[in-house]
A = this chain, B = another copy of it.
Amino acid sequence: MATTKTGASLDRGTLDTLLRRRLFYTPSFEIYGGVSGLYDYGPPGCSLQQNIVDTWRKHFVLEEDMLEVDCTMLTPHDVLKTSGHVDKFADWMCKDPKSGEIFRADHLVEEVLEARLKGDKEARGEKVVEEEDEDKKKRKKKVKEIKVVKLDEAVKKEYEETLARIDNYDGAELGQLIIKHNITNPATGGALEPPVAFNLMFSTSIGPSSNLPGYLRPETAQGQFLTFAKLLEFNNLRMPFASASIGKSFRNEISPRSGLLRVREFLMAEIEHYVDPKEKKHPRFKEVADTVTLKFLPRGIQEQGKTTTVDKTIGEAVKEGMVDNETLGYFLARIHLFLHELGVDQTKVRFRQHMPNEMAHYAADCWDAELLTSYGWIECVGCADRSAYDLTVHMQKTGQPLLVRENLEVPRVWEEWDVDVDKKWLGPRFRGDAKKVEEAVTKIPQQEREKLAGLLKNGEKVMVKVEGLGVVELEKVIIEKRQKTQNVREYTPNVIEPSFGIGRILYSLIEHIYWTRPDSAERGVLSFPPRIAPTKILIVPLSSNSEFTPIVTALSHKIRRAGISNRVDDSSATIGKRYSRNDELGTPFGITVDFQTVKDGSVTLRERDGMKQIRGSQEEVVDVVKGILEGVATWEEALKKFGESKGQELDEE
């Protein structure tokens, strides 16, 4: 059961209405009927998004001297073919050939089985919890009619087990489930074709001749990888280092749902931190090792079918090997601190480790920061060790060196068996096949060479198997152990990738800081931390009296000059109504200009959450807000200093 900031039960419908009414977001192209999975941010949503991005940039890019880049979204086919997206970035869909309707296969199986289980419950007279989710309700309506039929115990159990594993089936398995459970088009009962893969990238064509196919990027990462060599040089060839990028990515969902949580166009912030695969330590790990405690949901616990989290410092988690390495651990801690700074409810965050079957085959370890919302636990940040996979495949494809060359302070010295075949003998003897023989010689492993050296010493023949030629004798050959020296080490760095879905964080944060005044469920409040709030100060003239106008204009100007965003509400609504409206916008402070202001310039300052007010000069009041925004003062201190002002009961209507 989802809860508000104050622990009351969260009514998502009411919150959603509030967010649309206050224009945090709105379906795109609504007057044209809308397009599912596309949303616009209105002024408060846009400002909130901007504040989250600014905080992110300060917390990660500036704090760690990351190299921020801005790569294009348009991406040619070849790049995404190499990265594997053309072949693997897909969901399974089923078509009803009669009606032409298309279903996302896993969602369809889920909905039908859930509906049947619900019908079973009703048949048994058990209480059916009403679906809170508007979105789901709408989709459920399509399920013709829930048959109130009791299910066999075995069938029921099978359904439940299938639902628990619904994210893990591939296309063939989903096809089998559809046949086995006789799943059809829920609206018409029409038979479905077997699931086929649908690539989730938006495709387009670059240039006029249609011969350069391209896609809208599914992640910002690939552009960063392709710039690796230039960034390394920009960084004076120093390792480790990180690049970062903030920008839109795209995913052509088959049937988007869950509001802002699953959309077709979304803002991402991604970091690619390059490390030496042999040395995944992090110089700043000690700053977080003992001080940051996370709620972990590691693989082992999930394998037991449980979801109980364990609290550990990140230092312990790395030490005992639960988290693979220091750099990964450092970023998990930094992600935690970032979410904390945004105002995310710390009891509603967990770090869940990916199960082996969830991870890409190349990933060494992967953890998701999940936030608890009314949609369940939502993956908002992924933090993966992508190993050397991406740089390797791009290097193989392009032949460009996406490598680090490191001068070794102490040259590496070792001994090795060399096999030298006399070229003057080799050429005439094998002619066109000489190269094949040479290659075969190169491939003889060290152990084998040692053995061959022994044979040679004993005057025996040295035989080698050559592809296409069979076993041949090497007549003129020297096999010796020699000393080798290497001054430069070459390696492909590994990548630790923290990847943030800004829209998901934004929405989950709103659910965490939303609450309603105890006296009325209709008085919603969004308690953003002041630094994150879309607007910082609302200026409210007591009435439309013309004496207030020049004071309000000058005050607004003064506050803006101090770098603090503010809005004036001089509408004819009551003061109480105007403050309620701004509670919904999450504006942390309100300044009222009243008749006392006309006399002595003083104003009242109201704090959103406690609704208490102080009275002071305009300069004093602006300084209070500035101090709180800069983190050097608190509202409690201001209350103590100025005393609560009870002159006007402005919140009473």
Q: Does chain B have a CB within 8 A of A567?
A: yes
The stretch among A72-80, A163-171, A268-276 that forms the contact with chain B is: A72-80
Stretch at the interface among A27-35, A294-302, A311-319: A27-35
With A32-B76, A68-B46, A74-B264 as known contacts, state yes or no: A254 contacts B62, CB within 8 Å: no
Name the residue among A29, A78, A565 with the largest chain B CB count within 10 angstroms.
Answer: A29
Please, which residues of chain B bring their CB within 8 A of the CB of A69? 40-43, 46
Query: A35–B76 contact, CB under 8 A?
Result: yes
A138-162 interface (Cβ within 8 A of B): none
**Contact between chains at B31 and A47 (CB < 8 Å):** no
Q: Which B residues touch A492, using CB under 8 A? A: none
Decide: A227 and B74 in contact? CB cutoff 8 A: no
Query: Which residues from 460 to 475 on chain A have a C-beta closer than 8 Å to any C-beta of chain B?
Result: none
A571: which B residues are within 8 A, CB to CB?
236
Task: Give the nearest-CB partner of A266 in chain B.
Answer: B72
Contact between B29 and A76 (Cβ–Cβ < 8 Å)? Answer: yes
Q: Is A560 an interface residue (CB 8 A)?
A: yes
Judged by a CB distance under 8 angstroms, whether A26 is at the interface is yes
Q: Closest CB-CB distance, A324 to chain B, in whole Å?
A: 28
A493 within 8 A of B: no
User: What is the minimal beta-carbon distance from A245 to any residue of chain B, in angstroms?
Assistant: 8
CB < 8 Å neighbour of A208 from B38, B198, B209, B248: B198
| B42:A223 contact, CB within 8 angstroms | no
Q: Does A212 contact B (CB under 8 A)?
A: yes
Partner of A400, one of B31, B45, B62, B75: B31
Q: How far is the CB of A94 from chain B (nearest CB, A)?
A: 10
Among B30, B38, B62, B394, contact of A31 (Cβ-Cβ < 8 Å) = B394
User: Is the C-beta of A597 less than 8 angstroms from some C-beta in chain B?
Assistant: no
Q: Who on chain B is nearest to A22 by CB?
A: B234
B226 contacts A32, CB within 8 Å?
yes
Asked if A46 meets B70 with Cβ closer than 8 Å, knowing A40-B227, A204-B202, A230-B23, the reply is yes
With A36-B207, A40-B227 given, can you name 17 additional A-B contacts, CB distance below 8 Å? A22-B234, A32-B76, A35-B206, A35-B214, A38-B74, A40-B71, A41-B70, A43-B231, A43-B234, A46-B69, A62-B565, A65-B567, A73-B265, A202-B205, A202-B206, A204-B216, A208-B254
Given contacts A63-B560, A202-B204, contact A35 B74 (CB under 8 A): yes
Quick check: is A621 within 8 A (CB to CB) of the other chain? no
**Cβ of A515 under 8 Å from chain B:** no
Contacts known (A72-B40, A230-B23); A29 close to B79, Cβ less than 8 A: yes
Most buried by B among A22, A43, A264, A568: A43
Question: Would you give the 0/1 interface string for A232-273, flagging 1 where the beta carbon is closer than 8 Å to chain B?
Answer: 001010000000000010101111000000001100000000
Residues in B whose Cβ lies below 8 Å from that of A204:
202-204, 216
B-side contacts of A102, CB under 8 Å? 208-209
Q: Which listed residue, B70, B100, B255, B560, touches A40 by the CB 8 Å rule?
A: B70
Contact with B along A43-62 (1 / 0, CB 8 A): 10111011000000000001
Digit string of A564-594 for contact with B (CB within 8 Å is 1, else 0)? 0101110100000000000000000000000
A344 within 8 A of B: no
Which of B30, B76, B202, B227 is within 8 Å of A226, CB to CB? B30
Q: Is residue A67 contacting chain B, with contact meaning CB distance below 8 A? A: yes
Does A93 lie at the interface of the complex (its beta carbon under 8 Å from any beta carbon of B)?
Answer: yes
A398 interface contact, C-beta 8 A = yes
Leading 9 A-B pairs by shortest Cβ distance: A41-B70, A31-B400, A40-B71, A43-B67, A31-B398, A202-B204, A38-B72, A236-B571, A46-B68
Q: Which residues of B contact A36 (CB under 8 A)?
A: 207
Q: Give, as a whole number of angstroms, the nearest-CB distance from A557 to chain B.
A: 9
Which secondary structure dominates chain A's binding surface?
Answer: mixed
CB distance from A487 to the nearest CB of B (A): 17
Query: How many angstroms from the CA of A36 to the CA of B74 in the assembled complex?
Result: 12
User: Is A528's beta carbon under 8 Å from chain B?
Assistant: no
The answer to whether A70 and B93 touch across the interface, beta carbons within 8 angstroms, is no
Question: 28 A-B contacts, Cβ less than 8 Å apart?
Answer: A28-B71, A28-B72, A28-B223, A31-B398, A31-B400, A31-B402, A35-B212, A38-B72, A39-B72, A40-B223, A42-B227, A43-B68, A43-B234, A46-B69, A46-B70, A62-B565, A63-B560, A65-B567, A72-B265, A73-B73, A73-B265, A74-B202, A74-B250, A102-B208, A198-B208, A202-B206, A203-B204, A207-B254
Please name all residues of chain B whose beta carbon is closer than 8 Å to the beta carbon of A248 when the two chains form the complex. 73, 248
Residue of B nearest to A397 (CB): B32
Which residues of chain A in 520-562 are interfacial with respect to chain B, using CB atoms and an 8 Å cutoff? 560
Q: Please give the distance in Å from A164's CB to the nearest CB on chain B.
A: 27
Closest beta carbon of chain B to A85's beta carbon, Å? 14
How far, in angstroms, from A71 to B30 measured CA to CA in the complex? 12
Interface residues of A in 184-235 (CB under 8 A from B): 198, 202-209, 212, 214, 216, 223, 226-227, 229-231, 234
Residue of B nearest to A235 (CB): B43
Asked if A42 and B75 sit within 8 Å, CB to CB, the answer is no
**For A565, what are the chain B residues with a Cβ–Cβ distance below 8 Å?**
62
CA gap between A43 and B50 in the complex, in Å = 20
Nearest CB of chain B from residue A90's CB, rounded to whole Å: 11
CA distance A265 to B250 in the complex (A): 15
Separation in Å of the A592 CB from the closest CB of chain B?
A: 18
User: In the bound complex, how far is the Cα of B204 from the Cα of A198, in angstroms?
Assistant: 15
- Minimal beta-carbon separation of A214 from chain B (angstroms): 8
In the complex, the chain B residue whose C-beta lies closest to that of A74 is B265
- 1/0 per position for A319-331, CB-CB distance to B under 8 A? 0000000000000
Across-interface contacts of A560 in B (CB, < 8 A): 62-63
- State A444–B530 Cα separation when bound (angstroms): 62
